[in-house]
Structures are given as C-alpha cells and as structure tokens.
C-alpha cells in the first residue's frame, strides 16, 4: 500500500487512521453479523444497534439535553438551506447573518421559501471579518436567526454564538461540528454535514429542539419534514447506513482515544496556533485572510504577497506529503483544513515546510 499523505482537503476530508483501519478490518463482515455494513438492512437489529450507538455517542460528547431530537438525514448542508425555512418560517420572516460563501448561499435558498432579511453582510470586505454585536440588525419577531459558525472558504469563525434575545438560533456548524464543547441549550438547531469534521460524505446530523421539530407543517413531503423524520427515528426511508456507521466509529474515537470534547478542543487550538504563528512571524511573506479576532481554528486560508510562487508551493508541498492545499478561487492562495482527524504531526510538517519555503525565497 502506498504511504498515506497528510490530507488538508476542506471536504470530504481526513478521517482518523484508527477509524479507517477498523472499517477496513470489518468491511467484509461485521463481527457477529457475518455480512458487510454495506449490505446490512437498515431494518435489522444489527443496524439499529449502530445508529443507536451513534446517537448515544453524540449525546454524551455534546451533552445534548433530552428535549432535543437527533436526526441522521441526507442531502448535506445544501438541503438544509431549504429544509429549514420550509419547516420553520411559517408566516414570519427569518434573519440571516451573512459572513461568507455558505451563509450567503443559505440565505439565497431560504428566499425560495418565504420572507428573509439580511441582518448583517460582510461581502464588502470579502468576508474577512465578523460583525460586532451592535452591528447585527435583528427582528425581535423573526421566526429564527441563522448563522454559519465557521465559514470553510474564508476561514472566519465565531468565538461564541450571537445573542438573539429569545429568537431561536439556527447554526450551520458543518466545518467545525464537535471541535469543542458546545452549550446546545442556546440553540434551536445545530446541524452539520459530516464530511468535513466528523465522518464521510452522505450523512447530515441535525440536532433540533423538540418544539421546533413539532412546528413542521403537515403538508410537507415526508422526507422533508423534521417531524415525520423524527417520528420515524431517521428511518422513514433508507438512511445512509455506511456513513452513519463511520460516524459512529469517529465518535467512538473521540470518546475512547481522544478523551472527549475538552481534549479535542485543546488539540485543535494547538494545531491552529502552529500555522498562525508561522504566518504572523513571516513579516508579510504569508498573509492570512481572516482578521485576527475571528480566525478559524478549522480552516486556515493564507496567501503570499504575489501569486508568482503559488504553483511551486503546491508542488513542493505535495513532494513533502502535504496535499489539497490550494485555496478556493474566491480567496486565492492556499487553505489548510485542520479538522479533528488531522494529526498534529501533519500540521507540524506543514509549518516546517512553510518556514523552509519562506527561507528559500526571501
């Protein structure tokens, strides 16, 4: 087998090696079952044990209150952009805090379902900053307030949730989900597509307060109704069985190898500091995109003063076993996604490569 490289992709992204090895061992036949998880019926007691364990792990790690439902859905965050307003808008309007590409897309999709207001828009500065609390123009009668806690492309991350004064807060946490402890009780809903920080592509985790689940209109298509999906315990139709199985293994790893969310957060902070220290000490050779008070711990976009050396940087990084570092076209330069499963050794190697590259070209 070819030696594994360090994968800094924004998603689908790196998975823990221990998880991949366990899935590899059991792919032909789950222990005690005799068939692959790829073949197992979602109606079987064996798969029920898998999805129950996945939910139990999530509830334990994130300390989810009993009055919140956990749903394993499909369609990614992009489906949630429309499903949320479809279920929650009613005859009201919703407020959107637009801090990057994904919250902008979410607002655009929500407009197809009803009335939407932009409570703050950071596009004038290419989404390099976050609003101050007094800059957010909220409607006290809104159906909900929506924000993206970590913008994958621009690398801006909220250090804490915005205050909504009782209006339900909805959070797309796709590229930071489970990176640190979170007080779920402050939210009406937190959701995430798994393929960035806690699993493979195919499953979307939705954690939603029961009163919001029950607010789903009765005239929705069943698979687009939170209430009907909750009543069916995420199995109204065939769920993404393999993706849920891997999510279960990832949460096993968080519990038993990492040791919980506090330790996960400490590791993530250390990894991010390694890269930001290189950027800050480079005297302008490397330039970060996000302002310092809202830098993402998960996604680190950066560039050089000119793009002349970009191709050489990417090629040299690949030779050093560091891949998927090209930045998004809207930001340029490079982006290192250092999600939960990225080992600290990978970040150390990237930091060393960045320093060596800088010394070579200064």
Query: Torsion over CA of 347, 348, 351 and 357, rounded to 10 degrees?
Result: -120
- Which of the following is catalytic: 69, 104, 120, 172? 172
Note if 172 is an active site residue.
yes
- Distance (Å, rounded) from C-alpha 39 to C-alpha 172? 31
From CA 331, how far away is CA 171, in angstroms rounded? Answer: 23
Strand partners, 271: none
CA 262 vs. chain centroid, Å, equals: 18
Per-residue pLDDT of the chain (362 residues; tens, 9 = 90+): 468 999 999 999 999 999 999 999 999 999 999 999 999 999 999 999 999 999 999 999 999 999 999 999 999 999 999 999 999 999 999 999 999 999 999 999 999 999 999 999 999 999 999 999 999 999 999 999 999 999 999 999 999 999 999 999 999 999 999 999 999 999 999 999 999 999 999 999 999 999 999 999 999 999 999 999 999 999 999 999 999 999 999 999 999 999 999 999 999 999 999 999 999 999 999 999 999 999 999 999 999 988 999 999 999 999 999 999 999 988 999 999 999 999 999 999 999 999 999 999 98
Reply yes or no on whether 121 is catalytic.
no
Cβ proximity of 255 and 57 under 8 Å: yes
Residues 6+ apart with CB under 8 A from 297: 157, 176, 179, 268, 269, 271, 272, 338
pLDDT at 173: 97
Catalytic residue among 69, 95, 102, 248: 102
Contacts 24+ apart (CB under 8 A), 131-134: 131/97, 131/99, 133/162, 133/163
Residue 259 has which token pair? 């040791």
- pLDDT score, position 2: 66
pLDDT value at residue 45: 95
pTM for this structure? 0.96
Instruction: Give me the pLDDT at residue 344, please.
Output: 97
The single residue of 104, 196, 227, 248 carrying the catalytic annotation is 196
- The answer to whether residue 303 is catalytic is no
3-state secondary structure 34-48: CCCCCCCCCCCHHHH
| pLDDT reported for residue 305 | 87
Amino acid 306: pLDDT: 87
């Amino acid at each position: 087998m070819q030696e594994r490289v360090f994968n800094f992709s924004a998603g689908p992204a790196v998975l823990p090696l221990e998880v991949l090895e366990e899935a590899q061992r059991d792919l032909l036949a789950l222990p005690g079952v005799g068939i692959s998880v790829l073949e197992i019926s979602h109606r079987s007691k064996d798969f029920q044990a898998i999805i129950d364990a996945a939910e139990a792990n999530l509830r334990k790690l994130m300390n989810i209150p009993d009055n919140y439902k956990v749903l394993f859905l499909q369609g990614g965050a992009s489906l949630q952009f429309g499903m949320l307003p479809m279920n929650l808008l009613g005859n009201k309007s919703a407020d959107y805090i637009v801090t990057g590409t994904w919250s902008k897309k979410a607002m655009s999709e929500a407009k197809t379902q009803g009335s939407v207001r932009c409570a703050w828009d950071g596009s004038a500065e290419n989404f390099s900053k976050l609003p101050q609390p007094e800059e957010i123009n909220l409607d006290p009668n809104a159906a909900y307030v929506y924000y993206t806690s970590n913008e994958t492309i621009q690398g801006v991350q909220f250090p804490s949730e915005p205050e909504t004064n009782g209006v339900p807060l909805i959070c797309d946490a796709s590229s930071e989900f489970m990176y640190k402890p979170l007080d779920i009780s402050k939210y009406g809903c937190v959701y995430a597509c798994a393929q960035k920080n806690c699993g493979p592509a195919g499953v979307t985790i939705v954690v939603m307060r029961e009163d919001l689940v029950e607010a789903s209109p009765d005239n929705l298509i069943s698979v687009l109704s939170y209430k009907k999906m909750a009543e069916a315990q995420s199995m109204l139709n065939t769920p993404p069985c393999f993706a849920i199985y891997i999510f279960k293994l990832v949460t096993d790893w968080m519990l038993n190898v990492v040791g919980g969310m506090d330790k996960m957060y400490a590791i993530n902070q250390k990894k991010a500091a390694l890269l930001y220290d290189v950027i800050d000490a480079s005297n302008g050779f490397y330039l970060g995109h996000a302002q310092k008070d809202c830098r993402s711990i998960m996604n680190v976009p950066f560039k050089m003063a000119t793009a002349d050396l970009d191709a050489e940087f990417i090629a040299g990084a690949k030779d050093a076993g560091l891949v998927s570092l090209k930045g998004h076209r809207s930001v340029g330069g490079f982006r290192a996604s250092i999600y939960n499963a990225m080992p600290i050794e990978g970040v150390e190697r990237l930091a060393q490569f960045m320093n060596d590259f800088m010394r070579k070209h200064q």
